[in-house]
């Protein structure tokens, strides 16, 4: 069974309500910061397992509505899997958390 769907008929009422808010914020370009953004091939995505509705672009960047109702990137560390809103996590770049970046830098200087 697919957990991730773009099929609106599978969203249900609550996820569709969130989707409508996401689209409105996206249409009005209401972003939390200048760093938050999506590229091309943006789609509405629903994770039927977690219940999370978000926007995703062709490079798997994700954006969700934060508590203040504006769009913010959801970052995930490609090394340790830590994830969260850009404003709530300490990331070195969009795909590496600060901790993993420092460990990488450390292992480079040790060798």
Q: Token pair for residue 39?
A: 């590229």
Task: Enumerate residues 6+ apart whose C-beta is below 8 A from 25.
Answer: 65, 69, 70, 71
Smaller CB separation from Zn ion, 50 or 78 = 78
Cβ neighbours of residue 104 under 8 Å, at least 6 residues apart?
79, 96
Separation CA 111–CA 91 (nearest Å): 24
CB of 101 to Zn ion, least distance (A): 8
Q: Which of residues 20-79 bind Zn ion (CB under 5 A)?
A: 77, 79
Is the CB of 67 or the CB of 102 nearer to Zn ion?
102
Task: For residue 9, give the H/E element and its range.
Answer: none
Q: Report the nearest approach of Zn ion to the CB of residue 82 (Å).
A: 5
Q: How far is the CB of 92 from Zn ion (least distance, A)?
A: 9
- Residue ranges in 74-103 that form contacts with Zn ion under rule CB under 5 A: 77, 79-80, 82, 97, 100
In the complex, minimum distance from the CB of residue 67 to Zn ion, in angstroms, rounded to a whole number: 24
Give CA torsion, residues 83, 67, 27, 84, to 10 deg.
Answer: 0
Q: Which residues bind Zn ion (CB under 5 A)?
A: 77, 79-80, 82, 97, 100
């Amino acid at each position: 069974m697919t957990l991730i769907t773009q099929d609106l008929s599978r969203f249900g009422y609550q996820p569709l309500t969130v989707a409508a808010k996401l689209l409105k914020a996206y249409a009005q370009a209401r972003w939390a910061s200048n760093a938050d953004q999506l590229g091309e091939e943006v789609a509405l995505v629903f994770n039927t397992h977690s219940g999370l509705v978000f926007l995703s672009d062709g490079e798997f960047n994700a954006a969700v509505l934060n508590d203040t109702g504006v769009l913010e990137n959801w970052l995930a560390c490609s090394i340790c899997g830590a994830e969260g809103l850009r404003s709530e996590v300490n990331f070195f770049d969009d795909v590496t958390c600060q901790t993993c970046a420092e460990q990488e830098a450390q292992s480079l200087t040790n060798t």
